[in-house]
Structure formats: C-alpha cells, structure tokens
Chains A and B, each alone.
Chain A
Amino acid sequence: MDLTAVIIVEILYTIASLIIISSGLAVIFGMMKVINFAHGEFMMIGGYATIIAVKSGINIYVSILIIAPLVVGIIGVIIERLIIRHLYGRLVDTMLATWGISIVLIGLATMIFGNTTEGITTPISGWQIGDYRINGYNFFIIMIAILIVSLGYYLLKFTKLGLIARGAMQDPNVASSLGYNPDRIYMTTFFIGSAFSGMAGGILAPLVGLTPNWGTAYIAKAFITVVVGGPSIITGLLSSSTLFGSVNQIFSFITTPVWGEVALLVTAIILLRLLPKGITNSIFRGKL
C-alpha cells in the first residue's frame, strides 16, 4: 500500500518534471516551428540566476518563479533579435544556429562561473509515508506542472492573446494580413518560451549540482517529448510527458534507472516510427 503510493507519486513527479523541462521548448516549437537547441542552456542560466539570487538573500520562491524567468526571457529576446530572426523558415539552419548558441553559452558560463558545482538546498522538507520518505519538493514540482498546463490552456483558449496566438500558429500570413505583426508575435513567443525554460532551470536547481554543461542532459529529453507530442502544444505535451514519464519510472522500478532512461528513448524511436508527425497529429487531432 505504502509502496504503491510512493510509486504513484514518483510517476507523477517524473511526468511533472518532463512537462516542466519541455514547456519552454514546446511553446517555441508549437508556435514558430523552431527547435531551440539552446533550451538546455537557457535552463542552465535560469538555474544560475536562481542560485545567485538565493545566495544574495532573496526569497527562494521569488527567485525561482520571477527572477529566473525574467532573466532568461530577456536573454532569449536578445538572442532572437540578433540571430534567430534572420533564420525563420529555415528549420535546419535554426537548429544549427541555436546549437551554436548553446555551445557559446556553455563556454561563457564556464568562463564566468568556472567548472565547479554550485547548489542550494531544497526549501521543503521530506514527508513520511509509512516506511518510506518522499522529498517534499516533488509535490511542489507536481503543483507547478499542473499550474503551467491549466494556465496555458486558459490563456490559449479563453483570452484574446491566446486567440491571436492560435491564429498565428495556424496561418501566419492570414494573421499578418489581419493586422497582427508576426514579427512581434514571434518575439513575444520567444520571450515566453525562454522564460519557461528559465523557470524550469530555477525549479530544478535545488535538486541538482549545477555545472555549466548541466543543460545538455535535458535537451534531448525535452526535444523528444516535444517532437513526439506533435503540433498541439498542450495536449501533445501532456500526452507525451505522461507516456514517457510512466515508461521511464516503471522500467526504473523493475530494473535500474539507466534502463528506465533507455526504455524512454526506445519508446520515442518506436513512436516516431509509427506516428512520424507526433501523437497529436494522428490521435488527438485538432485539440489545443
């Protein structure tokens, strides 16, 4: 009984963390069809921003939920204006350019912070369930994931901003002929996407030792979650995160965490072979 509860919480936690680390990439890919390979490094910057803010005495929740997204969002917009703006519509070139940016950011972080591990402690203490103990911070991550998904759904479905965004997503030409500047829509999207990446970095920062190339561990996972999810941002993110999170945790319990990860990656390959355009292109078609 206790074990089942723990396993369920662990599975929920894995799904939630997949949602959190992929949301930034999903926003940018879903809206602009741009794969941001520097996503992992945006997370890394978010993590450093959080750690610096906490160490200089700012409340940890303020650092995670406000400072990290703001810092990374601004950096994202600068990069978008300088580099990515010139490459819209060239899928492979944007991927390569953002890959270059990610390498540059790793280099910069190494020069600034050095090749050392930084860390802060988690703000929530553990909970006891029967004989087992669960990290209380896991619940915080699950809460944030639920918040992100419902807020995203609300914004896209019920607000005017969301309507414009969905319109621009479906057909940028029609949106621009109706008087909405696609350039500004893209810039805003990139800001929001980068801000999500930064927040993801801030949320995960207390759980890990932060090094300059920490982000590379996440980019592949986020990448496959988003691509397998397919064209619908929220349904795609939810369905692929749920699938991958469950596969990963179940295999981790049966064997070892390494095989859990391998199982996740193999599932991704099989899924892409069967549904080459993502889950939401063939199963949940037309959802948000």
Chain B
Amino acid sequence: MQSISQKRLVSGVILALLAMYILPNFIEYSTLSLLIIYAILALSLGLIWGFGGILCFGQAAFFGLGAYSYAVFAVNIGESSIPFILAILTPALFALILGAIMFYGKLSDVYLGVITLVVTLILFRFANSTAGPEYAIGKARLGGFNGMPNFHTLNVPGMPDVYIWDLDFYYVCFILLIICFISLYFLIKSSFGRICIAIGQNEQRIELIGYDVRKYKTIFFGIGGGLAGLAGALYASWAEIVTPGLFSLSQSAEIIIWCIVGGVGTLSGPILGAVILGLLKYYLGQQSLVDNNLVIGSILVLFVLFLPNGLSPALANLWVKITVKTKSRRPNTRRKKVSRAVRGIHNE
C-alpha cells in the first residue's frame, strides 16, 4: 500500500514538472504565478480543515499577515531572503498563539469560526485605519486603505540586486508548491500527521487514548498559518503592493470555496479547486454579462448540496471506473478468490 501511494506521488511530481514547462505556452505566466500562489494558500486551509477538522474562517488573516510582514521587513532590511523567512514565521507564530487560545479553551465548530472571523476583521479594521504617519514599523509606513507599495520584491538569496521576476518567479512559485505538496504528503503520513487526522475524526477517542489533543491541534494550526504566510509573501512579491483587502471576508470565503470545490480531505483537491476557480475568475473578469460573485456563490451552494466531497474524489472515482472497465477482469476475479479464501479460513 505504501509503495503504491509513493509511486503515485513520484508520477504526480513528474507530471507536475511537465505541466510546469508546458503551461506557460497556453496562459500568461503572471496569471499562472497567481494561480500557484492561490494553490499554496488553498493547501494551507486544505491541510488544517481536511485533515485536522479545523474549519478556519479566517485563513486570510495569516495570508495577509504574511504579505504585510514580508513588505514591512523588506522595506526595513532592503533584501528579500530574511523577510521571506520572517513572513512565514510571523503568521505561524500568530497562528500558534491564536490556536493555543482557542484549543486550550476547548472551542470548536461555530465558536472557532466566530473567533477566526473576528480576528480577521480586527486585522482588516486595523490595517484600514493605519493611514497616518504615526503607524510605521521602522522605515515602513503601513499606509492604511491605500496599502504599502515600493518594497523590495523577491531576489536571489545573497544578491539583493538580482531580482527574480517574470518567468523565473513563476518557476520559483511552482517549485515551492511542489515542495510544499511533498512535505505535507510526508507530514500527514508521519505519526504526528496520523494523530492529527485521528483528532479530526474523533477527538474524544484520541483524548481518551492519552494524547494531548490541544497541543497537536495548536501545532497543526500553526503549520497551516505558516503555509498561508508563505503564500502571502509570494503574493506580496507578485503584486508589488499589499492592501487591507487581503484580510477581507471575501478573501477568506474564496479560500474556503477553493477547498470545497476541489475536495476537502485530499491534498490535490485544494490545488485543483484554486486553479480552476482562479482561472474561472480570470475569465469572468473579462466579460461584463454575468457578475463574478453570482457564479462563484452558485458554485459554492451547488457543491455543498450535491457534491460535498468535491471534485478530486469524484474524479478519482471516475478514473478508477474507467481503468477497471478497460483493463481485463483478471485482477478483479483474483481479488474475489482471495476474499473467498479468507472467508473460508474464518469459517473453519
């Protein structure tokens, strides 16, 4: 079983690398970079929601925090490597603190949703009200509603004058996405990951077995926050401006919709959802007949009603059906024989 899924991982990575070279022929790479940043962001929620069972309504908080801390540190330091790392660590730390507050208080479900939502709102209101010159961190003025432009974008580590942009930026994003995917894959296969999944499925049982559920959930939440921060740092470098809109309710909603459409409980699902809906949004933005919100909202409602598991499991089922039909029946009958034999043993 282990070897099959690892074979799948290797073939998936090879396919992704192929796609990385082929895709720029069809779609502009600046759009593609954004889609990949969205995919990383979707992964961050997909991880904590799909595997840890923690539905966070404020994943945008960590995303925005990552983007803002990247911008602030980049202005102060004047190169991008250290800010990039700090942009991952700051939201991760914030998520750890927030997670500790929530999980050590035994909050779940709606109450978790309320708190994460409220925290996002506080950050949104705060970021919006920082227009005055007194709101500055070091050399960086937060800029309020207008946001923060003019910071150092991504450069080659150690060489502040050699910027990574355009096609190179796209490759960097893509490779980071693949690295994230692989590390998350091994994370959820590790014993830590297995415990987190088990907590998502039956918290009480895990607690009774003797694990400190609160600790595991908090750390898991922190990892999700760090990942969202990574997406935020990349976004800041892509957009070359950070605005309070990153903290908005609609941004959080979008992340949740990507996960639902792609499939909660898988790693590939959120990526799929982010890319499909990102593309859809891009094309909808080019016409004025139908409003973007109308389509996205309808998709969310329809998926909740009719396809709550999302596209990824549905597509996987379809794939299995097709391959089973086209392949010869032999493996199938063999499995039946084996099961019959097993039953025979049981009967004896």
Binding site for B on A (CB under 8 A): 35, 83, 86-87, 91-93, 95-97, 99-108, 110-111, 216, 219-220, 223-224, 227, 256, 258, 261-262, 265-266, 268-269, 272-273, 276
Contacts and interface: CB of A to CB of B under 8 A. Distances in A.
B291 A97 contact: no
Q: Interface majority SS on A: helix, strand, loop or mixed?
A: helix
Contacts of B77: none
B256 interface: yes
Contacts of A91: 109-110
B291 A107 contact: yes
B115 A272 contact: yes
Interface string B55-69: 100000000000000
B296 interface: yes
Given A91-B109, A223-B114, A99 B119 contact: no
Contact of B301 (A97, A227, A266): A97
A276 B121 contact: no
Interface stretch (B100-108, B162-170, B220-228, B317-325): B100-108
Contacts of B308: 93
A216 B249 contact: yes
29 contacts: A87-B305, A96-B304, A97-B304, A100-B257, A100-B297, A100-B300, A101-B297, A106-B293, A107-B294, A108-B291, A108-B294, A111-B290, A220-B118, A220-B121, A220-B249, A223-B114, A224-B114, A258-B125, A258-B126, A258-B129, A262-B122, A265-B118, A265-B122, A266-B122, A268-B114, A269-B115, A269-B118, A272-B115, A276-B105
B253 interface: yes
Interface string B297-310: 11111001100100
A93 to B, nearest CB: 5
A97 B305 contact: yes
Contacts of A220: 117-118, 121, 249
A114 to B, nearest CB: 10
- Nearest 7 CB-CB pairings of A with B: A107-B294, A103-B297, A100-B300, A107-B293, A104-B297, A100-B301, A107-B291
B267 interface: no
Contacts of B257: 100
A225 to B, nearest CB: 10
Contacts of B109: 91-92
Contacts of B101: 269, 273
B53 to A, nearest CB: 10
